[in-house]
């Protein structure tokens, strides 16, 4: 049995290892997706797949990492896992990836010939085939529209490269240099993380190191349960809607939650949510779990240690065949609007029972892919666009800032104009797009690009164009988003989810993001 001081020291060192992995991954990124947008996370997990430490760049990966290791362990018994192995998966169904472009890499950690942990990373890839460049077709009708699907496999076996696996990956991408370059960066930082974690276990011993992680798991649980006990018991319901599923553009998809809080126990029940979408707005349950974890951390405090203890503090209920628990092979590439709806419905359910935690809806999240075909080569311009943040008690929402589980970076214009055949003609705040109220919602922004060369295919995966972000406790609603394209002098407004739009030199695209809702009557 170790001391609290020893546990603090060990866990702090593990967090430092993850921080170094994360920094290395961003710096080694071949694609702008990783080095500019920061669509990647790193973590350390124990041998049973429980989360030990994570650098929370993208909160959704809190739920993804344990599912990744669960997939590895389901396919490979522990006695088949060797020092020097490197595992890869991208399947949302047989692993934990949010959608197929997210490659998960895991490297085992051994101490005294015993498997004790994994060092892992998840990072978005530029293109892995499928029906649209970027592998996220807004009109996907099943998971096979979304590119190559990889169950957990060994990329390296006892340090020996699986050349056939790398050849298969290269042969299924429109941008193989970017995909393999980013993947090798993941392998490098996970191998570094594995080596440093082995030194940590060697230095302090397996028993003491595992005690430290267990201590902080219980400490996380204690902090969250303490916060829950400070709240009055309540039962609240709320619902939020996604514009549409990408196929049926006239029918919103509803996500409904019943939150029941009793003592230090809380249950999130999403069983009454709408049936799964024909299009790709569905989300797998391990990401619903991540969304609930985000809420638990948000109401407890930013200093809450992020580990498996977060999952120990709540109960989650879903129903198969719904948008939050779809049947295979439902498409899932545009899961992000559903996660925003999940989180915002939970906060709305707090309502009058816990007004200090109620907050208005934010501008949601969106991704846009511009695939530029020039001289038979495809350049993938992939960006994450922020909107306004919803207001809450004592807080005006931020302008042009990612919110909820979305935490990437807005890509710089200078980088875009250097690497891609576009010119940015406009980048400004959409004034008064946030909701009015005692506390105002943040504003969205607009960016306008002109195409300079080649043939460009557009895929937009957005939300809150038709259904605007709601205010709370008397606050006003925010303005919604929009996307306009000007082709040969004629302007057309796109749906919030659309693929296959073709632009040529001289054509323009303008994407405006929603604001955040207001809080309280002004």
Question: What is the per-residue pLDDT across 59-71, written as a single tens digit (0 to 9) for each?
Answer: 889 999 999 999 9
Q: Which residues of 406-426 are buried (b: 16+ CB within 10 A; e: fewer)?
A: bbbbbbeeeebeeebbbeeee
Beta partners for 457? 371, 502
pLDDT for 152:
98
Q: What mean pLDDT comes out for the span 255-277?
A: 97
Q: Please state, rounded to an integer, the average pLDDT across all residues of the chain.
A: 95
List of domains in the chain: 4-219 (3.30.450), 359-522 (no CATH)
pTM over 0.75, yes/no: yes
Beta partners for 45? 51, 118
pLDDT tens digits for 138-197? Answer: 999 999 999 999 999 999 999 999 999 999 999 999 999 999 999 999 999 999 999 999
Residue 426, token pair as written in the block: 């406009």
Q: Cα separation of 345 and 343, whole Å?
A: 5
**Does residue 111 surpass a pLDDT of 80?**
yes
Nearest of 336, 331, 328 to residue 364 by alpha carbon: 336
pLDDT for 390:
96
**Class of residue 263 by CB neighbours under 10 A (exposed 0-12, middle 13-18, buried 19+):** exposed
Q: Cα separation of 340 and 348, whole Å?
A: 12
Query: How many CB atoms lie under 10 A from the CB of residue 343?
Result: 28
Q: What mean pLDDT comes out for the span 18-27?
A: 96
Beta partners for 221? none
Q: Cα separation of 479 and 443, whole Å?
A: 9
pLDDT for 409:
84
Residue 394, token pair as written in the block: 């004592």
pLDDT tens digits for 331-368? Answer: 999 999 999 999 999 999 987 788 888 899 999 989 99
HSE-CB of 345 using CA atoms within 13 angstroms: 26
pLDDT tens digits for 363-392? Answer: 998 999 999 999 999 999 999 998 999 999
Beta partners for 370? 381, 458
Distance of CA 174 to the CA centre of its chain: 23
**Class of residue 345 by CB neighbours under 10 A (exposed 0-12, middle 13-18, buried 19+):** buried
pLDDT for 248:
96
């Amino acid at each position: 049995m170790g001391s609290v001081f020893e546990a603090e020291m060990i866990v702090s060192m593990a967090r430092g290892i993850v921080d170094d992995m994360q920094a290395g991954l961003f710096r080694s990124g071949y694609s702008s997706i990783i080095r500019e947008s920061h669509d990647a996370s790193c973590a350390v997990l124990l041998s049973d797949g429980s989360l030990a430490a994570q650098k929370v760049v993208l909160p959704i990966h809190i739920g993804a990492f344990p599912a990744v290791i669960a997939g590895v362990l389901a396919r490979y018994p522990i006695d088949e896992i060797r020092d020097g192995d490197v595992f890869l998966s991208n399947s949302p169904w047989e692993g934990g990836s949010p959608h197929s472009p997210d490659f998960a890499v895991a490297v085992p950690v051994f101490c005294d010939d015993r498997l004790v942990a994994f060092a892992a990373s998840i990072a978005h890839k530029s293109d892995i085939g499928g029906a649209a460049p970027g592998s996220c077709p807004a009109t996907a009708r099943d998971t096979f529209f979304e590119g190559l699907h990889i169950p957990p496999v060994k990329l390296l076996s006892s340090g020996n490269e699986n050349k056939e696996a790398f050849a298969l990956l290269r042969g299924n991408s429109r941008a193989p240099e970017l995909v393999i370059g980013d993947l090798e960066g993941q392998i490098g930082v996970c191998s570094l993380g594995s080596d440093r974690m082995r030194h940590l276990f060697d230095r302090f011993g397996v028993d003491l190191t595992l005690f430290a992680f267990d201590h902080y798991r219980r400490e996380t649980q204690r902090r969250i349960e303490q916060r829950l006990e400070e709240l009055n018991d309540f039962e609240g319901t709320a619902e939020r809607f996604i514009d549409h599923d990408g196929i049926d553009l006239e029918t919103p998809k509803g996500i409904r939650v019943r939150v029941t809080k009793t003592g230090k126990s809380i249950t999130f029940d999403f069983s009454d949510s709408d049936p799964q979408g024909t299009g790709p707005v569905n989300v797998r349950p391990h990401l619903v779990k991540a969304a609930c974890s985000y809420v638990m951390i948000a109401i407890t405090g930013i200093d809450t240690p992020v580990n498996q203890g977060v999952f120990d503090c709540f109960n989650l209920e879903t129903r198969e065949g719904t948008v939050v628990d779809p049947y295979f092979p439902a498409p899932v590439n545009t899961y992000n609007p559903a996660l925003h709806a999940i989180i915002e419905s939970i906060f709305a359910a707090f309502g009058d029972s816990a007004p200090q935690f109620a907050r208005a809806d934010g501008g949601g999240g969106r991704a846009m892919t511009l695939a530029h075909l020039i001289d038979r080569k495809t350049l993938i311009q992939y960006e994450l666009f922020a909107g306004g943040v919803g207001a809450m008690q004592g807080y005006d929402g931020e302008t042009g800032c990612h919110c909820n589980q979305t935490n990437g970076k807005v890509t710089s214009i200078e980088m875009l104009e250097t690497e891609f055949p576009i010119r940015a003609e406009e980048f400004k705040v959409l004034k008064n797009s946030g909701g009015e109220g005692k506390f105002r919602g943040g504003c969205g922004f607009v960016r306008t690009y002109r195409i300079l060369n080649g043939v460009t295919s557009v895929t937009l995966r957005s939300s809150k164009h038709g259904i605007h972000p709601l205010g709370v406790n008397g606050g006003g609603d925010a303005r919604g988003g929009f996307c306009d394209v000007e082709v040969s002098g004629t302007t057309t407004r796109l749906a919030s989810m659309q693929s296959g739009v073709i632009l040529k030199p001289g054509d323009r695209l303008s994407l405006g993001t929603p604001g955040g809702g207001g809080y309280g009557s002004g």
